[in-house]
Homo-oligomer: A and B are copies of this chain.
């Protein structure tokens, strides 16, 4: 597809120039972006209003319209986010290995930019600036392909950012937007491995699966979170209720919120009684028969329910006979994001952490902590649920590669 290829070539040409920019130039450009965001609140809101009007006309649900909406406070938040990225240490150029080889060759393993990063994401226009700023600080050109719902907001924001780059003498094509939001452009982008070094899909499970199915560009899967809390036989029941409540209801729409609980049969009655006292039906429960004996269920759960990321005030539940059954269930239905055991047993805690195959495995704490800021990485581009390259919260370093620089004085191999 010629249109996408043109973007790819422009990005590939901009990338080495950006790679050569020092930290000061990159930070100056990012600060200029933040300044322009603050100065352009009216323009951003006007562009965003077009998207909101279209969304309302097309009958978009109120919660989705809310995610799409930019206001003065949210724009200030986006600008602050960019300023935080300015304050993060620059990962590029860090020496991460090396030494002198027996042949006398001197090797330096140095962190370098990825090159060109593609981001395919859905509605939220704040992602547009977040993702662009993170890729830019990590020294890579970015091609952004947001959803059609936010196209007017995205066009305005990307144009604003490109203006800031130009002002600072950096190629505008370090940040590009795919303005044609047909499905074809997304597919073409997934297959542009000649020009794109890394593709990160951010959004629904359906989007992510489509990318995995179609991409020839290396992909990092992010953000699908079918997360569990297992309440062990020996759990502190009050703590278990606190953690389940926090992990489910503090912000149900995010990927590190839980979708499922597994309850040891010996404490099921006590746990569900206390959970019921806490929630009084605030969260709908989809559970197995033994759950239904202890708490009101919306329906009996099937495998499909156990595999579902509700992202809502809804939870699946199963009563299990042992920590082993819980681990097996999690490894079958989990998405490798964040998993938790509430227990007083050291043996079960260790077994759970060792055997559960996920990016973050918690003992006695809410899964909601899986987050770049909480983990001290600063901003994050997403939470990887795969095992290659990066796992869990991905900060700036996860957007870099490395290369070996080798200096000799004529060494040849014997």
Closest to A370 in B: B404
Q: How large is the interface on A (under 10, 10 to 19, 20 to 34, 35 or more residues)?
A: 35 or more
Report Cα–Cα, A84/B127, bound state, in Å: 48
Query: Are B114 and A365 within 8 A (Cβ)?
Result: no
Residue A294 is within 8 A (CB to CB) of chain B in the complex: no
Stretch of A23-31, A41-49, A154-162, A383-391 on the interface side: A383-391
Contact with A403, one of B216, B374, B389, B391 (Cβ below 8 angstroms)? B391
Cα separation A245 to B410 with both chains bound (whole Å): 12
CA distance A294 to B33 in the complex (A): 54
On whether the beta carbons of A388 and B401 are closer than 8 Å, the reply is: yes
User: Which residue among A243, A374, A412 has the maximum number of chain B CB atoms within 10 Å of its CB?
Assistant: A412
- CB pair B198–A410 under 8 Å, yes or no, is no
Interface residues of A, Cβ cutoff 8 Å to B: 16, 19-20, 99, 101, 103, 105, 107, 114-115, 193, 197-198, 212-213, 216, 218-220, 236, 239, 242-243, 245-247, 250, 331, 349, 353-355, 357-366, 368-370, 374-376, 386-389, 391-392, 401-413
Q: Are B242 and A412 in contact (CB under 8 A)?
A: yes
The reply to whether A115 and B216 form a contact with Cβ atoms under 8 Å apart is no
Taking CB atoms, residues of chain B closer than 8 Å to A386 are 197, 218
Chain B nearest Cβ from A122, distance in angstroms: 21
If the complex has contacts A391-B403, A401-B388, A403-B359, are A369 and B198 also in contact, measured as CB distance less than 8 A? no
Contact indicator A361/B99 (Cβ below 8 Å): no
Residues B101 and A374 in contact, CB atoms below 8 Å apart = yes
Q: A218-B218, A243-B412 are in contact. List 12 more A-B contacts (CB 8 A).
A: A99-B376, A114-B388, A115-B387, A197-B388, A246-B412, A361-B403, A362-B407, A365-B407, A365-B411, A370-B404, A375-B404, A392-B404
Chain copies in the assembly?
2
Please give, as numbers and ranges, the residues of chain B lying within 8 Å of A375 by CB-CB distance.
101, 107, 404
Contact B219 A368 (CB under 8 A): no
A286-B412 Cα distance, complex, nearest whole Å = 24
CB distance from A134 to the nearest CB of B (A): 17
Q: Which residues of B contact A401 (CB under 8 A)?
A: 387-388, 391
Give A231 Cβ to nearest chain B Cβ, in Å.
13
A406 / chain B contacts, CB cutoff of 8 Å: 360-363, 365, 369
Main SS of the interface on chain A? mixed
Contact B404 A360 (CB under 8 A): yes
Closest CB in chain B relative to A302 CB, distance in Å:
19
Query: Roughly how many angstroms separate A411 CA and B370 CA in the complex, as a whole number?
Result: 12
Write out the residue numbers on chain B whose beta carbons fall within 8 Å of the beta carbon of A193. 212
Asked if A360 contacts B408 (CB within 8 A), the reply is no
Which of A197, A198, A247, A406 has the most C-beta atoms of chain B within 10 angstroms of its own C-beta? A406
Q: Are B413 and A369 in contact (CB under 8 A)?
A: yes
When distances are taken between beta carbons in the complex, the residues of chain B under 8 Å from A413 are 246, 250, 366, 368-369, 374
Cβ 8 A contact of A365, one of B245, B331, B353, B410: B410
Closest to A211 in B: B216
Decide if A410 touches B368 in the complex (CB within 8 Å): no
When A and B form their complex, which 3 residue pairs have the shortest distance between CB atoms, in order from nearest? A365-B408, A246-B412, A387-B401
Which residue in chain B gives the minimum CB-CB distance to A250?
B413
Shortest Cβ distance from residue A409 to the other chain B in the assembled complex, whole angstroms? 6
B-chain residues with CB within 8 Å of residue A219 when the two chains form the complex: 218
Q: Is A369 in contact with B236, judged by CB distance below 8 angstroms?
A: no
CA of A119 to CA of B250 in the docked complex: distance in angstroms? 44
**Which residues of chain B are near A216, meaning CB under 8 Å?**
212-213
- A16 nearest in chain B by CB position: B355
- Residues on the B chain within 8 Å of A404, using CB: 359-361, 370, 375, 391-392
